[in-house]
Structure 1
Amino acid sequence: MSSFLHGVNFNDISIGMSANYSQTITDADIKSFAGISGDHNPVHMSDEFAENSRFGQRIAHGLMSASFFSALFGTKIPGPGCVYVSQNLKFKKPVYIGDTVTATVTVTSIVQDKRRVFFSTTCKVKNKAVITGEAELFIPENS
């Protein structure tokens, strides 16, 4: 396993534990995400279109910022081997090119016998929530 991948042993996870990840959104990120997701909505891709939208400029795909939660789950808490069970999301504000998004996941509950961990999930830009939600993860025995 790569040395940059680490995690927390299931038995060491506790309520209140958290991890975060920050990334500044670039034009290249948006174009790459559009290529991967197939979402070429002009509000993401066209300056001219976006200028006439309610946002006034291009916005990042909401699921791009939300994908930072997956990065945290797979590498920090719980870590390698965990499996997403569910995630709900509320998109509160747009994310623009040049914004730095900070994703935070915080353990809210643990079901030991089912090896499930529940999290609150938040993305913020300039300390304002742009995405909120909750997630459930399963941690296999061998992870």
Structure 2
Amino acid sequence: MPSLYLEDFQPGQRFTSGGRTLTETDLTMFSMLSGDWNPIHADAEFARHTRYGQRLVHGTLGIALCTGMLHQLGIFEHSVIAMLGLRQWEFKQPILVGDTLHLELEILTVEAGKSGRSGKLGRRFRLLNQRGEVAQEGDSEVLVLTCEGARQQAQAAQS
């Protein structure tokens, strides 16, 4: 899908990514990257005696997957300026090795900026598992170029 600009969005729009099956390597690599070796992630014997019966994938890996899946959609490829933050992020279902996840992105709000070059989008992220259950969800705002802002940016780059 081509990059979209502020004018292309409207509240209620939804975009869905492709799926991604999480592997043992994903779990281990994220432990290495984050330094989070909590036994619920790293110790199979410990995790076997929890209510889940197995190790859990890090919740923060779910957030990282959402941003990666968002990139795969391509809708912000050339238009995004900056993500402004995450709010009210909830871990609703555990993520397990072998789960296949995909992102459902919903546009909540569209606000034009004062300059006319950019504006702000309110977005809801929903990370769904292979059973259609919401594993995680939360809101995020992002600054996005308008078509005019993109044109001005391209002209400045050519100068």
TM-score category (smaller protein): 0.7 to 0.9
In the TM superposition, 1:1-143 aligns within 5 A as 6-15=2-11, 16-75=13-72, 76-80=74-78, 81-88=80-87, 89-113=89-113, 115-125=119-129, 126-140=131-145, 141-142=149-150
Provide the C-alpha distance between the structure 2 equivalents of 1:74 and 1:118, rounded to a whole number of angstroms: 17
In structure 2, the CA distance between the partners of 1:123 and 1:12, relative to structure 1 (3 Å rule), is same
Identity of aligned residues (%): 21
Provide the C-alpha distance between the structure 1 equivalents of 2:18 and 2:3, rounded to a whole number of angstroms: 14
Deviation at 1:56, TM superposition (A): 0.9
Q: CA RMSD in A?
A: 2.0
Contact map agreement 2:3 2:77 (CA 8 A) in 1: yes
* Paired residue secondary structure (1:82): strand
Deviation at 1:19, TM superposition (A): 3.3
65-74 or 84-93, which deviates more: 65-74
Structure 2 length normalisation: TM-score? 0.77
Provide the C-alpha distance between the structure 1 equivalents of 2:29 and 2:93, rounded to a whole number of angstroms: 22
Question: Is there any run of 5+ residues in structure 2 with no aligned partner, and where?
Answer: 154-159
Structure 1 length normalisation: TM-score? 0.85
Q: Which runs of 4+ in 1 moved over 3 A?
A: 72-75, 140-143
Provide the C-alpha distance between the structure 2 equivalents of 1:29 and 1:118, rounded to a whole number of angstroms: 29
Deviations 1:83-114 (A, max 9, x none): 11111210011011101011211111111116
Provide the C-alpha distance between the structure 2 equivalents of 1:47 and 1:108, rounded to a whole number of angstroms: 40
Number of aligned pairs? 139
Provide the C-alpha distance between the structure 2 equivalents of 1:133 and 1:26, rounded to a whole number of angstroms: 24
Partner AA of 1:117 in structure 2: L
